[in-house]
């Protein structure tokens, strides 16, 4: 087993170590979230296609059913992909916390008895639990709260860029200003 002391001042490397222990599960979660967000963004264009077809600009009845099927397929894929990501994440994220706890307890068992006389056992176990809970929270926040809006914004900028570069540049500027404003509010510690 690799020594955890190598990660003493490298929290990101420590966290990535546990992601690398389960690469397939984390890759499937990431791919499912990316695909779900792309389906969600594409749903807006499925609605546009259906409205255009219903208004008579898209052809006959066959095209109406095709537009309707496309819209339903995008909505179904969006929902199924979110559920797939959630199902795999419910096992993977909990397993990562178990891996962290096991490794930290194993690391502690290598210490001399004097180490434990100077520190209260409940304090050590609460720190181990806090570390694993923090990893669980970081993974959950990234997958469900950070990644989807970022991908949706970037894909919206790309799609709008195919229509109008000026609008895409304006959206990019507004998104940048919003990120800067949120960063400043967060750094100041204000809600």
pLDDT of 7-30, one tens digit each? 777 888 888 889 999 999 999 999
Question: Does pTM surpass 0.75?
Answer: yes
Question: To which H or E segment does residue 80 belong?
Answer: helix 61-109
Listed range (59-68, 130-139, 157-166) with the worst mean pLDDT: 59-68
pLDDT at res. 2: 63
Torsion of CA 96, 6, 104, 16, to 10 degrees: -10
Closest CA to 93 of 147, 30, 34: 30
pLDDT of 144-153, one tens digit each? 999 999 999 8
Tell the residue number behind the tokens 């490794």, with chain if given.
103
- The pair of three-digit structure tokens given for residue 94, joined into one six-digit string: 């909990």
Name the burial class of residue 63, with classes exposed (0-12), middle (13-18) and buried (19+) by CB atoms within 10 angstroms of its CB.
middle
What's the half-sphere exposure (Cβ side, CA atoms, 13 Å) at 34? 7
What's the half-sphere exposure (Cβ side, CA atoms, 13 Å) at 31? 7
Do 78 and 36 contact (CB within 8 A), yes or no? yes
Torsion of CA 15, 16, 22, 28, to 10 degrees: 110
pLDDT at 155 over 60: yes
- The pair of three-digit structure tokens given for residue 17, joined into one six-digit string: 């170590």
Mean pLDDT, rounded, for 141-169? 90
Closest CA to 30 of 19, 21, 41: 19
pLDDT at res. 7: 73
Considering the chain, what percentage of its residues have pLDDT values greater than 70? 94
Structure-model confidence comparison of residues 148 and 125, the more confident one: 148
* DSSP code for 56: T
pLDDT of 93-104, one tens digit each? 999 999 999 888
pLDDT at 58 over 60: no
Do 93 and 140 contact (CB within 8 A), yes or no? yes
- The pair of three-digit structure tokens given for residue 188, joined into one six-digit string: 């100041």
Give the span between the Cα atoms of 13 and 6, in whole angstroms: 9
Name the burial class of residue 103, with classes exposed (0-12), middle (13-18) and buried (19+) by CB atoms within 10 angstroms of its CB.
buried
Give the span between the Cα atoms of 181 and 191, in whole angstroms: 12
Average pLDDT over all residues of the chain: 87
Mean pLDDT, rounded, for 136-141? 94
């Amino acid at each position: 087993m690799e020594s955890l002391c190598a990660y003493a001042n490298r929290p990101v490397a420590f966290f990535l170590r546990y992601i690398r222990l389960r690469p397939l599960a984390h890759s499937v979660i990431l791919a499912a979230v990316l695909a779900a967000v792309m389906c969600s963004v594409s749903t807006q264009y499925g609605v546009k296609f259906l409205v255009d077809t219903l208004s008579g600009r898209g052809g006959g009845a066959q095209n109406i059913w095709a537009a309707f099927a496309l819209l339903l397929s995008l909505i179904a894929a969006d929902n199924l992909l979110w559920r797939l990501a959630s199902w795999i994440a419910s096992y993977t994220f909990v397993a990562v916390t178990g891996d962290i706890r096991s490794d930290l307890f194993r690391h502690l068992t290598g210490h001399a008895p004097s180490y434990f006389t100077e520190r209260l056992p409940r304090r050590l176990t609460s720190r181990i639990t806090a570390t694993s809970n923090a990893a669980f929270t970081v993974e959950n926040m990234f997958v469900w709260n950070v990644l989807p809006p970022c991908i949706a914004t970037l894909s919206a900028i790309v799609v709008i860029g195919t229509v109008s570069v000026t609008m895409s540049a304006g959206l990019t500027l507004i998104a940048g200003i919003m990120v800067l404003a949120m960063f400043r509010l967060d750094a100041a510690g204000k809600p």
